[in-house]
């Protein structure tokens, strides 16, 4: 069985590489064609377009940036709808609007195929190591059909409800990620200002009630002032826009998430949107007048 994979960015490249390394026959496509080169060298076949990928594959995975990108891949010129086989399955690993997910699923089902929304969490490290968490909405029997392939790049696969539920759960995930990231930033800023050894402090607290993935994985990067992205500020900000739009539709207040959105916006204005989302600490450093890992005045 050929597996199609569309979108070879910061997450998709690692996911597709794991499929190839596990011995599956993979057909890849990316808008920037040069990103296909490493996968082709590893044994993947090149697709000419999303339509071409869909015409050659029974399962097509998509991992692109935003709702308009998914709509273009699915419904645009030479989009996968034009080549989709009857009985095929589209698995969307992008993080997009739940309402757009329902629209895309309806269009795919009208062609006799099916759709799973299956956004992922775990950063580029998780994509490369095969340890992502996947939140799946849609028909549970379709998940079982594709589970052996998702197992290539995920250690946790959760079926969370009908179509659209996967995207909504991913927004829950992003609320928890960014608010925890704010707490890690404030904690390290406080420790720095108090003159504590930051690494000893992190080691002392991460095993207790304050422990979290963000603290253990992004805290050391903040201390080392390593801003390489597992997930960029720009992408995180896109997800927070989706969170706040959905919360507005539901009439739900999210004050802490809204604060992080504004802090990230300030960092984008400084031109650092391509840095890792843990650079959130820089917004607090600007207020405090000193840097984590630097010298407190």
pLDDT on residue 1: 80
The domain over range 168-288 is classified in CATH as 1.10.1040.10? yes
Q: 251-260, pLDDT tens digit by residue? A: 999 999 999 9
Q: 258-292, pLDDT tens digit by residue? A: 999 999 999 999 999 999 999 999 999 999 999 99
- State the DSSP code for 44: P
pLDDT on residue 28: 98
Measured distance CA(49)–CA(219) in Å, rounded: 40
Cβ-proximal residues to 161 (8 Å cutoff; 6+ apart), any chain: 137, 169
pLDDT on residue 178: 98
**Which residues in 56-77 are b (16+ Cβ under 10 Å) and which e?**
bbbbbbbbbbbbebbbebbbbe
By the 8 A CB rule, do 127 and 230 touch? no
Measured distance CA(219)–CA(70) in Å, rounded: 33
Mean pLDDT, the chain, integer: 96
Q: 52-92, pLDDT tens digit by residue? A: 999 999 999 999 999 999 999 999 999 999 999 999 999 99
Residue 175 confidence (pLDDT) above 50: yes
Residue 237 confidence (pLDDT) above 50: yes
By the 8 A CB rule, do 7 and 73 touch? yes
By the 8 A CB rule, do 172 and 178 touch? no
Strand 120-121, strand 132-137: pairing: antiparallel
**148 alpha-carbon distance from chain centroid:** 20
Mean pLDDT calculated for residue range 2-31: 97
Please report, in angstroms and rounded to a whole number, the separation of the first and last CA atoms in the chain: 62
Share of the chain above pLDDT 90, in %: 98
The pair of structure tokens assigned to 58 is 């029974």
Q: 83-104, pLDDT tens digit by residue? A: 999 999 999 999 999 999 999 9
Show contacts of 189-197: CB within 8 Å, 24+ apart.
Answer: 189/281, 189/284, 189/285, 189/288, 189/292, 192/290, 192/291, 192/292, 192/293, 192/294, 192/296, 193/288, 193/290, 193/296, 195/296
Q: CATH code for 2-162? A: 3.40.50.720
Measured distance CA(155)–CA(182) in Å, rounded: 26
pLDDT on residue 135: 98
The pair of structure tokens assigned to 266 is 């300030």
For 116, left (φ over 0), alpha (ψ -120 to 50), or beta?
beta
Q: 180-224, pLDDT tens digit by residue? A: 999 999 999 999 999 999 999 999 999 999 999 999 999 999 999
pLDDT on residue 4: 98
The verdict on whether 170 is a catalytic residue reads yes
Count of CB atoms situated within 10 Å of the CB of 31: 15
Domain ranges of the chain: 2-162, 168-288
Paired with 28 in beta bridges are 5, 46
pLDDT on residue 211: 97
- Among residues 22, 170, 238, 282, which one is catalytic? 170
Strands (E), the chain: 2-6, 25-29, 45-46, 59-62, 89-92, 114-117, 120-121, 132-137, 154-161
């Amino acid at each position: 069985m050929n597996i199609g994979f569309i979108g070879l960015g910061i997450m998709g490249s690692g996911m597709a590489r794991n499929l190839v390394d596990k011995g599956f026959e993979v057909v890849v496509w990316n808008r920037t064609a040069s990103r296909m080169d490493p996968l082709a060298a590893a044994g993947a076949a090149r697709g000419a377009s999303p339509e071409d990928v869909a015409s050659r594959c029974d399962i097509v995975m998509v991992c692109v940036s935003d709702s308009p990108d998914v709509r273009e891949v699915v419904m645009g010129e030479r989009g996968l709808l034009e080549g989709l086989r009857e009985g095929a399955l589209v698995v969307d690993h992008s993080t997009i609007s739940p309402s757009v997910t329902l629209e895309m699923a309806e269009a795919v089902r009208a062609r006799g195929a099916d759709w799973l929304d299956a956004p992922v969490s775990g950063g580029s490290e998780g994509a490369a190591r095969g340890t992502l968490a996947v939140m799946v909405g849609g028909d549970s029997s379709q998940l079982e059909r594709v589970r052996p392939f998702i197992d290539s790049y995920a250690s946790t696969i959760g079926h969370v409800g009908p179509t659209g539920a996967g995207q909504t759960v991913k927004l829950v995930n992003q609320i928890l990620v960014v608010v925890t990231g704010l707490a890690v930033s404030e904690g390290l800023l406080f420790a720095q200002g108090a003159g504590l050894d930051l690494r000893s402090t992190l080691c002392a607290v991460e095993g207790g009630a304050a422990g979290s993935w963000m603290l253990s994985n992004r805290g050391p990067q903040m201390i080392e002032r390593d801003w390489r992205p597992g997930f960029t500020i720009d992408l995180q900000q896109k997800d927070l826009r989706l969170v706040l739009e959905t919360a507005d539709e539901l009439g739900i207040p999210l004050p802490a998430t809204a604060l992080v959105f504004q802090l990230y916006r300030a960092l984008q204005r400084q031109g650092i949107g391509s840095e890792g989302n843990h650079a959130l600490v820089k917004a607090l450093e600007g207020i405090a007048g000193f840097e984590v890992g630097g010298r407190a005045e």
